[in-house]
Amino acid sequence: MSDIRDEVAAGFQEIYGSAPLGIWSAPGRANLIGEHTDYNEGFVLPFAINRRTVVALGAREDGVIRVASAFADEVAEIALSELAPERLRDWSAYPLGVAWALGQYGADLGAVPGVDLYIESTVPVGAGLSSSAAIESAVAVALNEVWQLGLSLQTLARVGQLAENKAVGAPTGIMDQSASLLGRHDQAVFLDCRSLESELVELGFADAGLELLVIDTGVSHDHSTGGYAARRASCELGARLMGVPALRDLGVEDLPRARDVLDDETFRRVRHIITENQRVIDTVTALRTEGPLAIGDLLYDSHISMRDDFEISVSELDLAVETAQANGAIGARMTGGGFGGAAIALVPSEGISRIQVAIDGAFAEHGFSQPTMFTVTASDGAGRN
Ligand code: ADP
Ligand code: MG
C-alpha cells in the first residue's frame, strides 16, 4: 500500500502543482456467495480484497471539483453546484456522481469547498472485483470527511449506489459498496440487502490451509446494458406475478407455486434467487460451525445455478470452474454480475500451482486467451490512508 500511496501523492503534485491534503482508499471486493440477490433485497456474503483504489484530495477555495485518474488522460472539471447526472459521462461519472449523490443525501453543494482529486488503483477494471465500488467508496469516504458530513458507512454505500445507478446508469445493487466500506481483515460481510443490517463472519481460510484464487478470464462485461438489466427485469416480473414486494420474500417452499405461476424462463430466474439466498445463509452457518472446508459444495451449486437457471455464465468461466473443481479446489464459482469477469476457487495452499497450470492448459486447449490468476485475502474496508 505505501508504494501506491507515494505514487498517488506524487501524481497529484504533478497534475495540480501542490501536495494533497490527505489520502483515502477503498478496496475492491470478491463475492464469496450470493449473486444477483442484492437487488432482490436478499442476502450476500462478499469480502473486501487486498487491492485498493486510492484517492489523493486537495481542497480548493472555489466551488469547483476536478478529477484525474492514472486510468485516463483528461482532467474532468465542473462547478459543484452544476453537478447533475445527465451532465456526467465516461469514467468521471463515478467520482463526480458520488459528489452529486452526496448532495442528494444532505451535502450543500453550493456551500462546501471545491476539491481536486487524483485516483490510482490496483483493482483490475471490469473483472468482477468491483473497481467501480472501490472508486465510489474511496471518493465517498474522502468527501464525507473533508466536507464534515458525518454520514454513516451504510449511508455512504447508498450514496455510491445512487451514483452508479443515476450518474453512470448501471442498475446495480448495494452489495459492492457495502463490502468495500464495511469489510474487515479475514472477515466476510453477511449483508441483508433489505434492512442493510450486516454481520461480520470469520473466514479462517489461512488457518484451514486455504487460499482464494481469482481467475480473471479477461472477458469484459458491461453492466449498463444488456443481460444484467434483463435479469433485473425478470426478477421484478417474477416478484410481481408471485405477489411479493421482492423475491427475498419467497423461500424454497414457494418453488412449486412459482413453477405453476411463471413461464419457464422466469421460473428459472426466480429459482436461482430463491436457492441462492438459501445458499448464502447455509454458507454463513457452515463457516461458523464447521469452517471453510465445509462450503465447497455450496460454492459449486451456486455456479451451476448461475450457469443453468440464471444463465449469466460464459464458456471461459465454466471452464475455469470445472478445471479448478477437477484439480483439487474445495469449491469454485463465477463471481460478480456475470457475462464475463472472474471466477473464484477456494483451494488448498499446496495445490494452487497445480490448479493454475491446469487452468492455463485448459484455456490454451480451448483457444481462449490466457486468464490472469492471483490470490486475494479479506482486508479492511474504506478509510483514510
Ligand atoms: P467492475 O466494477 O467489475 O470493475 P464496472 O464496469 O462496474 O466494472 O466498473 C469499471 C469502470 O469504473 C471503468 O470502466 C471506469 O469507468 C471506472 N473506474 C474504475 N476504476 C477506475 C479508476 N481507478 N479510475 C477511473 N475510472 C475507474
Ligand atoms: Mg462494477
- pLDDT, tens digit, for every residue of 311-348? 999 999 999 999 999 999 999 999 988 999 999 999 99
On the 0-12 / 13-18 / 19+ scale of CB atoms within 10 A, 290 is exposed
Question: Percent of the chain beyond pLDDT 90?
Answer: 91
Q: Report the atom number in ligand 1 closest to the C-alpha of 222.
A: 6
Count: domains in the chain: 1
The protein residue with its alpha carbon nearest to ligand 1, atom 15, reads 91
pLDDT value for 229: 87
Structural domain span for residue 197:
2-201
> What are the residues whose beta carbons fall under 8 Å from the beta carbon of 276, sequence distance 6 or more?
33, 34, 35, 36, 37, 42, 302, 305
Pick the residue whose CA is nearest to atom 11 on ligand 1. Answer: 132
Smallest Cα–Cα separation from 216: which of 129, 86, 116, 305?
A: 129
Q: Is 299 exposed, middle or buried (0-12, 13-18, 19+ CB in 10 A)?
A: buried
pLDDT score for 67? 98
- Judge whether residue 223 has pLDDT over 80: no
- Nearest residue by C-alpha to atom 2 in ligand 1: 130
- Ligand approaching nearest to the C-alpha of 338: 1
Predicted TM-score (pTM) above 0.85: yes
pLDDT digits (tens, 9 = 90+) for 19-49: 999 999 999 999 999 999 999 999 999 999 9
For residue 55, give the DSSP letter. E
pLDDT of residue 225: 60
- Of 2-6, 170-174, 191-195, highest mean pLDDT: 191-195
Pocket probe for ligand 1: among 91, 121, 137, the residue whose CB has the most ligand atoms within 8 Å is 91
Spatial contact of 286 and 294, defined as CB atoms under 8 Å apart: yes
Check pocket membership of 132 for ligand 1, CB cut-off 6 A: yes
Does residue 2 have a pLDDT over 70? Answer: no
CA of 96 from ligand 1 middle (Å) equals 13
pLDDT of residue 94: 98
176 is catalytic: yes
Find out whether the beta carbon of 71 lies less than 6 Å from any atom of ligand 1.
yes
**Ligand 1 centre and the CA of 121: distance in Å?**
10
The pLDDT, as a whole number, for residue 222 is 64
Instruction: Find cell 449473486 and name the residue.
Output: 35
* Nearest CA owner, ligand 1 atom 20: 131
> 364 CA to middle of ligand 1, Å?
28
Rounded Cα distance, 198 and 52, in Å: 22
Q: What is the number of the ligand closest to the CA of 340? A: 1
322 alpha carbon, distance to own chain's centre: 23
pLDDT, one tens digit per residue, over 265-320 is: 999 999 999 999 999 999 999 999 999 999 999 999 999 999 999 999 999 999 99
**Is 293 within the bounds of a domain?**
no
For residue 126, the CA-to-ligand 1 centroid distance in Å is 6
Residues 329, 296 contacting (CB under 8 angstroms): yes
Ion ligand 2: residues, Cβ under 5 Å = 130, 132
Q: Which of 276, 355, 279 is nearest to 320 (CA)?
A: 355
Q: Residue for cell digits 473443481? A: 325
Q: Which of 176, 216, 301, 309 is catalytic?
A: 176
- Asked if residues 80 and 64 have their Cβ atoms less than 8 Å apart, the reply is yes
Is residue 290 included in any domain, yes or no? no
Q: Which atom from ligand 1 is nearest to the alpha carbon of 172?
A: 7
CA 243 vs CA 173, 236, 263: distances in Å: 22, 11, 15
Asked if the structure places residue 280 within a domain, the reply is: no
Quick one: average pLDDT of 137-147? 98
Closest by CA to 38, choosing from 337, 376, 375, is: 337
- What pLDDT score does 224 carry? 47
Q: What angle do CA 77, 80, 82 make, to 5 degrees?
A: 90
Q: Which SS3 state, helix, strand or coil, does residue 322 take?
A: helix
Instruction: State whether the beta carbon of 224 lies less than 6 angstroms from ligand 1.
Output: no
Distance CA 226, CA 221 (A): 10
How many angstroms separate the CA atoms of 285 and 280, rounded?
A: 9
Whether 28 is covered by a domain: the verdict is yes
**347 in a domain, yes or no?**
no
Determine if ligand 1 sits within 6 Å of the CB of residue 172.
Answer: no
Q: Which of 187, 183, 182, 195 is nearest to 38 (CA)?
A: 195
Å from CA of 129 to ligand 1 middle: 10
Output the CA 18–ligand 1 centroid distance in Å.
Answer: 26
Among 18-22, 59-63, 172-176, 189-193, the minimum mean pLDDT is found in 172-176
For residues 23 and 59, give the distance between their C-alpha atoms in angstroms, rounded to a whole number: 12
Q: How much distance in Å is there from the Cα of 180 to the middle of ligand 2?
A: 12
Q: Is residue 49 part of a domain?
A: yes
Is residue 127 very low, low, confident or very high in pLDDT (cuts 50, 70, 90)?
A: confident
Share the mean pLDDT of the chain. Answer: 96
The candidate with the shortest Cα–Cα distance to 80, out of 105, 67, 63, 55, is: 63
Instruction: Reduce the DSSP state of residue 344 to 3 states and report it.
Output: strand
Task: Tell me which residue of 350, 376, 349 sits closest to 134, measured CA to CA.
Answer: 376
CB of 300 within 6 A of ligand 1: the answer is no
Pocket test for ligand 1, best of 8, 66, 135 (most atoms within 8 A of CB): 135
Q: How far apart are CA 216 and CA 10, in angstroms?
A: 30
Scan for cell 451451476, then name that residue: 304
Question: Which of 55-59, 110-114, 228-232 is predicted least confidently?
Answer: 228-232
Residue 162 placed within a domain: yes
Q: Is residue 7 part of a domain?
A: yes
Do the beta carbons of residue 45 and residue 24 sit within 8 Å? no
Instruction: Give the CATH number of the domain where residue 174 resides.
Output: 3.30.230.10
